[in-house]
Amino acid sequence: MEWLNYHHLHYFWIVAKEESVTRAGTRLMLAPSTISMQITRLEESLGGKLFRRAGRNLELTELGRVVFRYA
């Protein structure tokens, strides 16, 4: 398991608030691919998906809601 770092949780929190990797990228001044990669690493570390697609937006899965409470 890869160790979690501040960036994993910070990017996750911003994506959850913005409901979009693109909007999170704009807010953080980072490429969406950078954020997606960090979210993927976080999901791999936790062993599950944190988001699911809801039309054009993302919504938290059950695991995502648990992590969000602690982020």
| CB neighbour list of residue 39: distance below 8 Å, 6 or more residues apart | 8, 11, 12, 15, 21, 50, 51
- For the chain, the average pLDDT equals 94
Q: Find the helix or strand (DSSP H, E) in which 51 lies.
A: strand 51-54
In this predicted structure, what is the pLDDT of residue 70?
87
Spell 4-26 as b/e; 16+ CB within 10 A means b.
Answer: eeeebbebbebbbebbbbebbbe
pTM above 0.85, yes or no: yes
Q: Is the pLDDT of residue 51 over 90?
A: yes
Local confidence band at 2 (pLDDT 50, 70, 90 cut-offs) = low
Regarding predicted confidence, which is higher, 65 or 1? Answer: 65
Alpha-carbon gap, residue 59 to 15, rounded angstroms = 9
In this predicted structure, what is the pLDDT of residue 6?
87
Domains and CATH numbers, the chain: 6-70 (1.10.10.10)
